[in-house]
A and B are shown apart, each in its own frame.
Chain A
Amino acid sequence: MATDQSSFEFAPGFVDDRLRTAWYALLGLLLVVGGYAMYLRITQGMQSTNLTSTTPWGAWVAFYIYFVGLSAGAFLVSTLANVFGVAGMHRIDRDALFAAIISMVVALLFVWTDLGRMDRMYHPFFWRQVTSALSWEVHAYVAYIGVLVTELYFAMRYDLAQVAERATGLRATLSGYLTLGRRATTDASRETDRTWLKRAGILGIPLAVFLVHGGTGVLFAVSKARPYWNSGLFPVIFIVSALLSGTALVVMLYVLRTRLFDDEPVDRDLLARLGALLAIFVVVDVALTGIEALIAIASLHPHELDTWGIIMFGEMSWSFWWFMVGFGWVFPLVMLSKRSWRRTPWLMALAGLSVVVGIVAVRFNIVVPPQIRPVMEGLPHGAYFPSLVEWASSAGMIAVGLLLYTIGAELLPLTPLDRGDH
């Protein structure tokens, strides 16, 4: 349904200027601190981390798989609207796609930082290894980002053309460039967009599920030397926890952006639908993790028992009980348990935030515990907690993502101009 005013005001972004200043100030601070940590990381090399040869993968790898999961999850939520045509979901599909793109950018920033030789980041495109999951993953990520950008373009082009045509200023000029010259605002052009959007989405689903995030799970699961990862269920859990964190992110973004940027009431039916989806994913995630733990423990394999012992009772068990079980599962499930709560925007935003934070612990508990007990008895035991440089640089990289998202949300028609009710 096209709007028919001849000109209109297009100014998405913070409604409250003080909030805008505070938010950018916070991001600026994080970027300065993160930038300094990054400087230390580059000048001191990997000595700036608390990694060792016993525990070679740490915080950066955990955040990398976290953001890949966030991206895959957000993308799959977007397909509910643009591939499966679930009613009332169109309002959030661009937001989900945009968040998915930014998450991938942040994920790649983390992998890059994690390389012992950051200067050789292009090597995987020159030399390959057919049997290496990582070699395949690098290419899958690039293809996936390509699909996401294509989708966002087709999802947004019609509105970009409208903004370019009817509004004035920076946003209109930018929108004009982003249409890539396809400025028609006819219904036929819109149909073409939708067709291609759906096609890209259909291509993106197997790419995201099996290659991008399932593949990231495979990367770990093929490590026979680490029995905790070496399980067929592992990549499946990766996908489910991705769906969980992605849905939570979209819920949070939807509530925050609708209230703080669009200054509109939150669509409570949509909220309740997303809430139900979130609840389902929490339950499936809990169940599969439980099955995985049972299989591991029942195997009586010393490495498995030790690793689960470390997770549940070790030095870092607080991250399992408080963050993974508490924030990731129990708290959101309680928030989602009542129908009226599922329709309360700030409660759902809180539940979303809780999951988004809790899944960070899920990723840490995937990466670190199997690298504590040495692979051979007689080799030194590991112990790992990220260094200040690792924490600060991580905060900086996350701030880069938040900044990119905020700038995008202030300039682009992420909320459909017709509010998605076509």
Chain B
Amino acid sequence: MVIDLQKCVGCDSCTVACKAENRTPPGVSYNVVMEEEHGEFPDVTRTNVPRPCMQCENPPCVQVCPVSATYKMDNGVVNVDYDRCIGCRYCMIACPYGARYFDFGENYDDEVVEAGEVTSPEYGVDRGERDGGESPVGNVRKCSFCTHRLERGEEPACVETCVGDARNMGDLDDPDSEVSEMADSSRAFQLKESEGTDPNVHYLK
């Protein structure tokens, strides 16, 4: 994924689309938009940096999981096996991007009628109604690049919804793809490059 920060207007639609698509509970937001302010009045600029999971090439979260519940899939997406995860939260400690969230079992019952009735078929598994404290309650959750949508040949919800067309989805392994070209541009950078995680989310300055 390549995100063009010059095109991002900071509307947070990606965050909303993500919550709607993945039906994430309170306190869990796979995608957030971080606002950075630079300079002093009157020369102030603001950059909006959307932050999904970086799907790192060398993911520290995978490295620390004691039960191998989180692992990298062939398509490069870092997966969480909700049926194996013990909820120790070591991966949240290890993630340099704060991209992982713990599911405390809360619901939007006060805000939305029948909030837990429909859940997202994350990683292609339909878990039905959210009740009885079953997984993913008590597990760690994160952005999966909408794996269930990718499997249907669709783009992740955040990419589809972006009003400024700032998000670009593609195959970084294919050197001729549009995203590869963007990721090679002189404007391109990754978050916390010095960590050695080699994120698969690239940004354009």
Contact string against B for A residues 197-238, beta-carbon threshold 8 Å, 1 for contact and 0 otherwise? 000000000000000000000010011111000000000000
Asked if B96 contacts A375 (CB within 8 A), the reply is yes
Question: Interface size of A by Cβ–Cβ distance < 8 Å?
Answer: 40
Q: Which residues of A contact B84 (CB under 8 A)?
A: 120, 123, 127
Segment of A86-94, A129-137, A142-150, A176-184 engaged in the interface with chain B: A129-137
Segment of B29-37, B118-126, B180-188 engaged in the interface with chain A: B29-37
Q: What is the CA–CA distance of A25 and B178 in the complex, to the nearest angstrom?
A: 72
Q: Which residues of B contact A116 (CB under 8 A)?
A: 85-89, 102-103, 138-140
Asked if A57 contacts B93 (CB within 8 A), the reply is yes
Question: Interface size of B by Cβ–Cβ distance < 8 Å?
Answer: 46
**Contact with B36, one of A126, A138, A377 (Cβ below 8 angstroms):** A377
Q: What is the CA–CA distance of A133 and B68 in the complex, to the nearest angstrom?
A: 12
Q: How far is the CB of A65 from chain B (nearest CB, A)?
A: 13
Q: Is B49 an interface residue (CB 8 A)?
A: yes
Q: Is B133 an interface residue (CB 8 A)?
A: yes
Contact string against B for A residues 362-383, beta-carbon threshold 8 Å, 1 for contact and 0 otherwise? 0000000001001111110000
Asked if B68 contacts A129 (CB within 8 A), the reply is yes
Asked if B51 contacts A222 (CB within 8 A), the reply is no
Asked if A45 contacts B138 (CB within 8 A), the reply is yes
Q: What is the CA–CA distance of A126 and B84 in the complex, to the nearest angstrom?
A: 10
Asked if B86 contacts A121 (CB within 8 A), the reply is yes
**Contact with A225, one of B28, B96, B105 (Cβ below 8 angstroms):** B96
Q: Is A124 an interface residue (CB 8 A)?
A: yes
Total number of A-B contacts with CB less than 8 angstroms? 135
Task: Kindly report which residue of chain A lies nearest to residue B89, judged by CB atoms.
Answer: A56
Q: What is the CA–CA distance of A47 and B133 in the complex, to the nearest angstrom?
A: 11
Q: How far is the CB of A287 from chain B (nearest CB, A)?
A: 28
Asked if A53 contacts B66 (CB within 8 A), the reply is no
Q: Is B16 an interface residue (CB 8 A)?
A: no
Report B74-113 residues with CB < 8 Å from chain A CB: 84-90, 92-98, 100-106
Q: Is A46 an interface residue (CB 8 A)?
A: yes
Q: Which residues of A contact B95 (CB under 8 A)?
A: 225, 375
**Contact with B35, one of A126, A127, A378 (Cβ below 8 angstroms):** A378
Asked if A54 contacts B98 (CB within 8 A), the reply is yes
Q: A45-B105, A57-B89, A376-B98 are in contact. Are A127 and B51 (CB under 8 A)?
A: no
Q: Is B64 an interface residue (CB 8 A)?
A: yes
Q: Is B69 an interface residue (CB 8 A)?
A: yes
Q: A116-B139, A117-B85 are in contact. Are A378 and B66 (CB under 8 A)?
A: no
Asked if B64 contacts A132 (CB within 8 A), the reply is yes
Asked if A47 contacts B105 (CB within 8 A), the reply is yes
Q: A116-B87, A117-B85, A377-B36 are in contact. Are A128 and B67 (CB under 8 A)?
A: yes
Spell out B's residues near A (CB within 8 Å).
Answer: 27-28, 32, 34-36, 49, 51, 60, 63-69, 84-90, 92-98, 100-106, 133, 135, 137-140, 191, 195-196
- 21 A-B pairs with C-beta separation under 8 A: A45-B133, A45-B138, A53-B27, A53-B98, A56-B102, A116-B102, A116-B103, A117-B86, A120-B87, A131-B63, A132-B64, A133-B64, A134-B88, A134-B90, A219-B90, A222-B64, A224-B94, A224-B196, A226-B93, A376-B191, A377-B34
